[in-house]
Amino acid sequence: MRSLEDFRSGKPSSYPDQSVCAEYACAELGLTFQDIDGGTGLAFGVASPTKTIHFGAGRCSWYPQNSATASTLASDKYFTNIILERAGAPTLGGEYFFLRDRHRAHRPAGHEREDALEHFRKLGASAFVKPLLGSRGDFAQAIHGEASFRSYLDEVAQSYDSILIQRIVSGTEYRAFLLDDEIVYTARKYPPSILGDGVRSIGDLLTAHNAALRSRGLSPVAVTAGRDTSLDFVLPKGERWDIPGRMNLSAGGTMVLEAPPSEAAFTLARKATRALGLRVAAVDMFTDIGGDANAMRIIEVNSNPSIRLLAQSGRSDLILKIWHHTFSAMGLVGV
Ligand SMILES: Nc1ncnc2c1ncn2[C@@H]1O[C@H](COP(=O)(O)OP(=O)(O)O)[C@@H](O)[C@H]1O
Ligand SMILES: [Mg+2]
């Protein structure tokens, strides 16, 4: 049998991870993988002797067993929060605002750009702000002060039409990946960091970090001196300096397969997945909020989660399990 790495080797770096995983799963499960875009991996079919299902990269879902309604609800961080709160699953809450007048007639009063500023002030001019329909940590950041908030709005408006403003929360972050009611894996998330080389300053290292983020289409981190940080400080060789804020893998964060400290996190993840009506979900949550061992809140629920961590962790067994769920839900295997 060919390993997952065998399928990855020789492919261009733009080739989607999920397409490699799908091709691997097809080989393991006796299905035919059909590239239909000249080897880019961006669009492919999966065929059994009786039917073919198509998949595509980008905005397409890798999980057709999730209904379009459930996936779309999960992509909207405000809709998700009100549905979860109603089901008794605590969230980070927040208020949504639109950055353009377009479609104004379709929303109630109080959600325009000027209202956003007023709400930000109400939170003491410090808040965590993110695009309402964002992902990968793009533009998800803590903002302090009105001037920073205004320039954030100008920047984010170039790529998104709406935002969610929340209180800044600190806790330990976990992800639980579910297939129906089964927890397939859990992982702990750690913040991105820069690594000292004994030559470059924190400011220079952050600038290089930002260039890498931009090349992947992600918003940069603010390069400003903090209370305890001097940007001119030369980081000793081998020393790590954590970048506070978003912990997304896409934004340079680290994920490690690890169980959360209590069973309560599993219960919460199941409750959230059920409330949204998803069959596949990656539920992100903060535990130990503000140092309180029992305080837990859902950050968001991902309906089209990446499974790159599993490839990095050598868990092709779990990749196979996830794709098997998809193929069997679509009637390609086990019929
Ligand atoms: N209110 C908040 N306070 C502090 N950190 C947050 C808050 N909301 C999100 N984060 C951090 O930012 C990351 C990205 O936020 P999230 O809502 O998951 O958006 P995205 O869809 O871009 O991943 C989270 O995984 C978490 O590390
Ligand atoms: Mg997220």
pLDDT by residue (tens digit) across 237-248? 999 999 989 999
Confidence of residue 256 (pLDDT cuts 50, 70, 90): very high
Q: What ligand 1 atom has the least distance to the C-alpha of 250? A: 23
Chain center to CA of 61: 14
CB of 248 closer than 6 A to ligand 1? yes
The rounded Å distance from CA 253 to ligand 2 centre is 11
Quote the pLDDT of residue 175.
97
Lookup: tokens for 23: 């091709």
Cβ of 297 below 6 Å from ligand 1: no
CA of 251 to the centre of ligand 2 (A): 10
- pLDDT > 80? residue 183: yes
Question: What is the pLDDT at residue 230?
Answer: 84
Domain 93-168, CATH? 3.30.1490.20
Instruction: Tell whether the torsion through CA atoms of 212, 11, 29 and 332 is positive or negative.
Output: positive
pLDDT in tens, 100-136: 999 999 999 999 999 999 999 999 999 999 999 999 9
Residue 264: what residue type?
A
Which-ligand-closest: CA of 74? 1
Distance between start and end Cα atoms, the chain: 24
Give per-residue pLDDT as tens, 139-166. Answer: 999 999 999 999 999 999 999 999 999 9
Distance in angstroms (rounded) separating the CA atoms of residues 233 and 238 = 14
CA distance 205 to 238: 13
Q: At the top level of CATH, which class does the domain 67-92+170-191+244-303 belong to?
A: alpha beta
pLDDT bin (cut points 50, 70, 90) of residue 1 is confident
Distances in whole angstroms, Cα of residue 101 to Cα of each of 37, 139, 146, 162, 226: 39, 21, 22, 11, 35
Ion ligand 2 neighbours, Cβ < 5 Å: 300
Q: What is the mean pLDDT of residues 40-57?
A: 97
Q: How confident is the model at residue 226 (pLDDT cuts 50, 70, 90)?
A: low
Q: Which of 137, 147, 56 is nearest to 299 (CA)?
A: 137
Mean pLDDT of 162-175: 97
Separation between Cα atoms, residue 173 and residue 296, nearest integer Å: 10
Q: Phi and psi at residue 318, in whole multiples of 5°? A: -75, -35
Show me where the domains of the chain are located: 4-64+315-329, 67-92+170-191+244-303, 93-168, 196-240
Q: Would you state the pLDDT for residue 50?
A: 95
- pLDDT tens, 54-106? 999 999 999 999 999 999 999 999 999 999 999 999 999 999 999 999 999 99
Find out whether the beta carbon of 173 lies less than 6 Å from any atom of ligand 1: yes
Which residues is 97 bridged to in the sheet? 163
SS3 category, 168: coil
